[in-house]
Amino acid sequence: MSPRPLSDYPPMMDTTMVAEFLQMSPVHVRRLAREGRIPAYRIEGVRSFRFKRDEILGWFEAQRVTPAELAAEAEALADSDTQ
């Protein structure tokens, strides 16, 4: 099954929609929201999170990794394996 286009998601999304959009589990999305690592909103007295589609897209785009970062990470892992 291919992912839905961005335009199919409403401006405000719940945890399940964000999980589908990011292709990760709802549990992981809730954890990221509780830790403040992903932009989320919670209405007073309500336990569930709400997310703005455009903010989630912006957050996702900010997670981009450069080839130099990947190479440095691989080198650090190789160094730790040899010790």
Reported as a single tens digit per residue, the pLDDT across 19-65 is 999 999 999 999 999 999 999 999 888 889 999 999 999 999 998 88
For residues 40 and 49, the answer to whether their CB atoms sit within 8 Å is yes
Give the angle subtended at the CA of 54 by the CAs of 48 and 55, to the nearest 5°: 60
Q: How far apart are CA 43 and CA 24, in angstroms?
A: 24
Query: For residue 52, what are the β-bridge partners?
Result: 12
Tokens linked to 39: 């932009």
Q: Which domains does the chain have, with CATH numbers?
A: 6-82 (1.10.10)
pLDDT for the residue numbered 2: 55
